[in-house]
Amino acid sequence: MRNVQGLVAWVTGAGTGIGEATALMLAAAGVKVALSGRREALLSDVATRISAAGGTAMVVPLDVTDRAGVTAAAAEITAELGQIDILFNNHGLNVQDRDWAGSAVDGWDDVIDVNVKGVYNCTAAVLPAMRQRGDGLIINTASMAGKRFSQRAGIAYGASKHAVMALNELLNLEEGNNGIRACAICPGEVNTAILDYRPVPVPAADRDRLIQPEDVAETVLFVARLNPRSCPNEILLTPTHKRRLQPGEPG
């Protein structure tokens, strides 16, 4: 496995949950980490913990739907830390009104803008430099909702994660010959704040049995350490006690 020490990773959605856990784990492995998200105070807290542990982190507050801002952020990271070796597109959101009867246009637009447009924007910002040097790794947080249809995930989130899977696969088909690898990580239920936005939130007593943010972070680090000659196009993670739903079971 390759040594990741000294590589540069750009982590979006880095203030909480999967992004926070991944940033901390990558930094502990010697990766220089750029932290992006909308809430600067949370990003600064993660950066402080990384620095206290001897790691390197920079805070780059960002709205991933702002294409010009994303491009500027990539340039800022490159100037400060060096070339971006790893992009972890981890930002994402969902809304409470999720079905056809209850969904609002604003909610649909918000989910699609962040979950799809944001992935496109960040990827487009790093792709030219990766292509030029013939190397780069892009890891996308997709979802089991991007592998099957789930009423529980909702129409906007399900559509957005299927789109992420398409973007990921097309990156591999079109850019593999340029040394660029893309991996979609498709977790089932993860114990993060996004569960609070479900129409019926997951009970606190059940959350310890779900995938934890650190489980996804370990998967990201595993992918980052793989020899660049190979790349898993996608990885599915499910809670051990709750495997994939059977046909006909409610989503």
- Report, as residue numbers or ranges, the catalytic residues: 157
Q: In what order do the strands lie in the sheet with 32-37?
A: 57-61, 32-37, 8-12, 86-89, 136-141, 180-187, 234-237
CB–CB of 25/31 below 8 Å? no
Structure tokens at 1: 């496995």
Distance of CA 190 to the CA centre of its chain: 13
Q: Which of 79, 88, 45, 38 is nearest to 60 (CA)?
A: 38
Strands 8-12 and 86-89, sheet pairing: parallel
In whole angstroms, what is the distance from residue 82 CA to residue 32 CA? 9
Residue that has been written with the tokens 């949370």 in this structure? 42
